[in-house]
Structure 1
C-alpha cells in the first residue's frame, strides 16, 4: 500500500473510506457512496485509549487486516474462523443494543487462509468525497481523530450505490473508471488502517475476549458497546440486497448482550 497526503489531493478533491466509526459519524463531505473493498477482513483488533477507552483501560475499535498479512504474518495461524465466507442470513433487528427476537447462534466457519483469494474477502463500507476547498481541513481533522495507531493508505473501493446525489456527485462519478468484470465504479481511495505493525494492534483475539473488553470499556467518545451497536446497524443498511451484513460484528453484539459474559 502507498501512503497519501493532503498535498497530493487538495487540488483535485479527496476520497476517504469509512469502515468503522466514519460510517455512522461522518466527516464533512460533499456526498457519500456505499460499496466494498476486497482482500481484507474487519476486526475489533485495534486498542483505543483516546476514544472508546483510556490509557489505563483501552477499549477496542475496528481495523482492517489484509489477506497478505493473514497469509504471511507470524501473528496469524492457517486455520482461522472466517465469518466473511458464511452464505446464510439470519434476520434480526438490533434496537438500543438488544436483539428484538431470539436468534440461533451465529457461527463462523473454519477455512485455511492459505487457500483464500482476494475476491473471497469483502468489507462493506462507505467512501466520502471531499471537495478541493475542504481537503486540508478534513485531512487535518481526520489525522487527529485517527491518531491512535492508524496510518493512511490507498486502496481500491467498489461503488454500489450513491447517497445524497448532487451536481458534484454527477460530475465526479462521470469521470470514474469502471471495473471490467463487475461494472462497478471504481475509486482509488485514502483509508486509515491500524496495521499489524502498529503498537495499538492487539489481534488476533477471540470474539469472546473482544466482547468482554467492549462490554466493560468506555472513553471520552462514549461506551465501547455503543460503537459496536452503531457500526453493526449501519453496516446492515449499506446494501438493499442484504449482502453487507457482517456476521463477525453481529456475533460480537450477541455476546456483549449476553448477561452471563
Structure 2
C-alpha cells in the first residue's frame, strides 16, 4: 500500500515505510484552507494547514510512501489519529517522473464540509493567521516554512499558493521583529 503526503507528511512522515518517491497527483491544487485545532492551533484559535481542492488542470507535488503489509493496519490507525481534524481518505494515482507511476495511493483530504474548514483567504490573511498560531505539534509558521523548503527540494515542484503565503509570512516576521 502507498500513502501520498502533500503537507507535513513530506517533511515529517513519522511513519515506518519501506520506500518513498517524489511525485505528483493530477486534478488537485494544494491550499491552506484547512483549520487545525489539534496540531498547529487550538480550539478558538485555529492554525492553517494544507488540504487538496479539485482543480482539473492542476497538479500537486508530494511524496508517496510504500508501507509494509504487516504494518498497514498500525500505520492507518496512526494516520487516522493524526488526520482526525476533518480529513477523509481517498485514493489517487501518483505520477512518478522517471519511474513507474503508482496506480493507487491513499491520501487524506480536508473537504469544505468538515467542521475545521476555514476556506479561501488571501495569502496575506492566511500568513497573518499562521504567524500567531501555535498548537500541540508546534508553531504554525514551522509547518508552512518546512513545507515550502521541502517543495524546493523537489525538481519541478512549483507551488505559487504556498510560496505566496511564505513570502507574506516572512514579510510579517521581519516587520514584527524589527
Please tell me the TM-score bracket, short chain as reference. Answer: over 0.9
Kindly indicate whether residue 89 of structure 2 is the aligned counterpart of residue 152 of structure 1. yes
- Whether contact under 8 Å (1:44, 1:60) holds in the other structure is yes
Kindly indicate whether residue 170 of structure 2 is the aligned counterpart of residue 257 of structure 1. yes
Unpaired runs of 5+ residues, structure 1, are 1-13, 68-117, 163-183
Name the SS of the counterpart of 2:96 in structure 1: strand
Q: From the superposition, tell whether residues 133 and 54 of structure 1 become closer, same or farther in structure 2 (CA, over 3 Å).
A: same
Give the Cα–Cα distance (whole angstroms) in 1 for the partners of residues 29 and 69 of structure 2: 31
Q: From the superposition, tell whether residues 161 and 143 of structure 1 become closer, same or farther in structure 2 (CA, over 3 Å).
A: farther
Give the Cα–Cα distance (whole angstroms) in 2 for the partners of residues 160 and 246 of structure 1: 17
Kindly indicate whether residue 134 of structure 2 is the aligned counterpart of residue 218 of structure 1. yes
Count of aligned positions: 173
Aligned-pair CA distance for 1:205: 1.5
Give the Cα–Cα distance (whole angstroms) in 2 for the partners of residues 161 and 225 of structure 1: 33
| TM-score (ref. length: structure 2) | 0.92
The one of 246, 251, 259 aligned to 2:159: 246
**Pair member with larger Rg:** 1
Aligned-pair CA distance for 1:186: 3.4
Give the Cα–Cα distance (whole angstroms) in 2 for the partners of residues 144 and 234 of structure 1: 24
Kindly indicate whether residue 21 of structure 2 is the aligned counterpart of residue 33 of structure 1. yes
| TM-score (ref. length: structure 1) | 0.64
Kindly indicate whether residue 50 of structure 2 is the aligned counterpart of residue 62 of structure 1. yes
* Aligned alpha-carbon RMSD (Å): 1.4
Name the SS of the counterpart of 2:128 in structure 1: helix
- Whether contact under 8 Å (2:93, 2:101) holds in the other structure is no
Which protein has greater RCO, CA pairs closer than 8 Å, 6+ apart?
1
Give the Cα–Cα distance (whole angstroms) in 2 for the partners of residues 161 and 190 of structure 1: 21
Give the Cα–Cα distance (whole angstroms) in 1 for the partners of residues 119 and 152 of structure 2: 24
2:37 aligns to what? 49
2:152 aligns to what? 236
Name the SS of the counterpart of 1:231 in structure 2: helix
Aligned-pair CA distance for 1:161: 5.5
